Amino acid sequence: MSDEAAPPPHFIRHVVEDDLRTDKWGGRVVTRFPPEPNGYLHIGHSKAICLNFGLAADFGGTCHLRFDDTNPTKENVEYVESIKADIRWLGFDWGPHEYYASDYFEQLYQWAEELIRRGLAYVDDLSADEIRAYRGTLTEPGRESPYRTRSVEESLDLFRRMRAGEFEDGARVLRAKIDMASPNVNMRDPTLYRIRRTPHHRTGDAWSIYPMYDYAHPLSDSIERVTHSICTLEYADHRPLYDWLCEALGIYHPQQIEFARLNLPYTVMSKRKLLALVEDGRVAGWDDPRMPTISGFRRRGYTPEAIRRFCERVGVARTDGMVDVALLEHAVREDLNKVAPRAMAVLRPIRLVLENYPEGQVEEMEAVNNPEDPAMGTRRVPFSRVLYIERDDFREDPPKKYFRLAPGAEVRLRYAYLVRCTGVVKDPATGEVVEVRATYDPASRGGDAPDGRKVRGTIHWVSVAHAVQAEVRLYDHLFTAADPAAAEDFKASLNPHSLETVTAWVEPALAGAAPGSRWQFERTGYFCVDPVDSTPRRPVFNRTVALRDSWAKVERA
Ligand code: ATP
Ligand code: MG
């Protein structure tokens, strides 16, 4: 499957196609992505972004970016800017269609007065706790507020004074007058407006009352003449209210359609929880590469192509489920395999001394930059008598089928020579192997012996005298529990080993690697130069993903 392939059909596409066929919306397709600017976007949002922008693009429509900024206590401009940057990075463009629910505050207010005049809304003086108590339960009907029957004039007067800032936060609310006995709790006179004498990041202190999401959302959709208002399944129970509001006001009425949220295991995907991790210093910020945020994935080295392809493959379902992380990792490997230049880096080094290699001699070995793409050419890597290899690539007591270095065993040094281990040097105090000794076969330059003897193992290396020290960050799941949110305290299952930092040695060409550039370190994975902490003096590499591809195995099986 490639980006160019036709997107797989799903039920929302079918709805849009049917609507075009029956001319339900006069040939228009208008979708929207409506984030609340109270945090950074996460990978779940990217599914909604790909879906909404993708449908608009596929059917010649438009997709609006609308900030649902109705709660001034939690929202700010940093979040607005990060959301825009992340959507652009994913490859989508809203053109001139950047909207804010706060731009509609006056119209929303006027409609609220209209509902009062029509006898469909009232000001309630019950406290929040009382309203909750009166609401009833799933099995018991609610009770009507004593204020429900107050006159239109009185409600109008109180509502205007709420707006004017005459009352304390929480003193009163505006509620829709629907049905306290409705089996759907959302229809039991839902709150439409509450008092919040808090300045707003866009409207300043113009407002003392703010609309609830369930009120602002459908009416914003209506103002923008959205055709398909696509949201996640938990809003299915709110759809009757969405429809009721449009009908009660007799205004343009978009169609709400629900789809399943994207969930990934071993992480959390609620902005409130992600914010708690940031505020408690459990991670280095919203863009910490362990975070499931779009900015975290970007800093970790994911490509927008990989995330888009992942979202496409996940598909659009009508029931919630978990998606295997391997599917996401597969998408990024697939992409980076084609584009990431190869390099050699030793993450956990041990010295390898070639006893018969002349002291002071340096050879430039020709190395392929990307076997998948000959156009990426070759480079020269300095080789000398003393090298670093991975500690793991040597075993004093090798298990069966261990084809790397061991006393007496022969191995191929990538792009260089065959070498045979002659012994080790140990730390006399601890007995630990601190150096591996070997001889090289000068006739095997390039990696093949003239006598045709078979050597199965190939390992990577760097020359000690030429290598550059780098910090390498290796990541594991942020949580040890598959569903951390299921526990009372989701932080209880934070993985103490989610970040491991090692001091590695990398080939000299990597010293100048551009921040954000992506590489494959032979045999150890894909890495990205950290755009924040890396310096030419001390490059920092984040491991995007290891090379092992469990998904490919699953697919083959
Ligand atoms: P959170 O729980 O993280 O705060 P939210 O739904 O409150 O998420 P919004 O900013 O309101 O966050 O989300 C904007 C849009 O993204 C909504 O239409 C929402 O349905 C969609 N969305 C949020 N999370 C997911 C998810 N996990 N999968 C798919 N779509 C999502
Ligand atoms: Mg929301």
pLDDT tens profile 184-214:
999 999 999 999 999 999 999 999 999 999 9
State mean pLDDT over 429-453: 95
Do residues 340 and 371 touch, judged by C-beta distance below 8 A? no
Contacts of 311 (CB under 8 A, 6+ apart): 46, 47, 50, 51, 262
- In this structure, the strands spanning 525-529 and 173-176 are unpaired
The model carries a pTM of 0.94
- Rounded to the nearest angstrom, the distance between the alpha carbon of 93 and the centre of ligand 1 is 19
Ligand 1 pocket test, candidate residues 50, 68, 86, 232, most atoms within 8 A of CB: 232
Which amino acid residue places its CA nearest to atom 25 of ligand 1? 44
**Among 36, 113, 114, 435, which one carries the catalytic annotation?**
36
3: pLDDT confidence band, cut at 50, 70 and 90? Answer: very low
Give distance in angstroms: CA of 36 to centre of ligand 2: 6
Rounded distance from Cα 408 to ligand 2 centre (Å): 63
Buried b vs exposed e over 482-501: b needs ≥16 C-beta within 10 Å? Answer: eebeeeeebeebbbeebbee
Closest to 71 (Cα-Cα) out of 40, 39, 33: 39
Alpha helices, DSSP H, located in 32-151: 43-58, 77-90, 105-117, 128-134
Six-digit token string for 241 = 């209210």
State mean pLDDT over 320-344. Answer: 94
pLDDT tier, 318 (very low <50, low <70, confident <90, very high otherwise): confident
- The continuous run of DSSP H or E covering 12 comes out as helix 11-21
User: Is residue 233 in contact with ligand 1, taking CB distance under 6 Å?
Assistant: no
Q: Is 74 a catalytic residue?
A: no
Q: What is the pLDDT confidence band of residue 536, given thresholds at 50, 70 and 90? A: confident
Complete edge-to-edge strand list for the sheet that includes strand 462-463: 458-459, 410-413, 418-426, 433-440, 349-354, 386-390, 462-463
Per-residue pLDDT, 551: 56
Per-residue pLDDT at 9: 84
166 classed as catalytic: no
Please give the average per-residue pLDDT across 492-509, as a whole number. Answer: 97
Q: Considering every ligand atom, which ligand is closest to the CA of 321?
A: 1
- What is the rounded CA–CA span in Å between residue 129 and residue 434? 68
Task: Give the span between the Cα atoms of 467 and 344, in whole angstroms.
Answer: 10
Average pLDDT for the chain: 95
**49 pLDDT higher than 90:** yes
Atom of ligand 1 nearest to the CA of 270: 3
* 44 Cβ inside 6 Å of ligand 1: yes
User: How sure is the predictor about 555, in pLDDT bands with cuts at 50, 70 and 90?
Assistant: low
CA 191 – CA 163 distance, rounded (Å): 15
Catalytic residue among 261, 273, 420, 445: 261
* Binding site membership of 269 for ligand 1 (Cβ less than 6 Å): yes
Residue 519, strand partner residues: 527
261 is catalytic: yes
Q: What is the mean pLDDT of residues 429-437?
A: 96
Give the mean pLDDT of 254-259: 98
**What residue's CA is closest to ligand 1, atom 1?**
270
Closest C-alpha to 461, from 381, 380, 368, 389: 389
Residue 261 Cα to ligand 1 midpoint, Å, equals 8
Does residue 64 line the site of ligand 1, with CB under 6 A? no
Percentage of the chain beyond pLDDT 90 is 93
Q: Report CA 157 to chain centroid distance, whole Å.
A: 47
Per-residue confidence (pLDDT) for residue 46, from 0 to 100: 97
Mean pLDDT of 208-230: 98
Q: Minimum-distance ligand to the CA of 261?
A: 1
Q: Is 38 in the pocket of ligand 1 (CB under 6 A)?
A: no
CA-based nearest residue to 327, from 313, 308, 338: 313
pLDDT value for 8: 72
Q: Average of pLDDT values for 374-386?
A: 97
Reading the block at residue 207, the tokens are: 């407002």
- Ligand 1 centre to CA of 223 (Å) is 21
pLDDT score recorded for residue 5: 59
Q: E-assigned strands of 371-524?
A: 378-383, 386-390, 410-413, 418-426, 433-440, 458-459, 462-463, 468-475, 499-506, 518-521
Q: How far is the CA of 35 from the centre of ligand 2 (A)?
A: 7
Tell me the CA distances in angstroms from 360 to 356, 425, 463, one per residue in order.
12, 21, 12
Note the ligand closest to the C-alpha atom of 48.
1
pLDDT one-digit tens code per residue, 350-363: 999 999 999 999 99
The pLDDT score that the predictor gives to residue 460 is 97
Residue nearest atom 29 in ligand 1 by C-alpha distance:
261
User: Can you tell me the distance from the alpha carbon of 542 to that of 528, in angstroms, rounded to the nearest whole number?
Assistant: 5
Q: What is the pLDDT of residue 67?
A: 98
Q: Would you put residue 285 in left (φ > 0), alpha (ψ -120 to 50) or beta?
A: left
The mean pLDDT value for 296-312 works out to 97
* Residues in the chain, total: 557
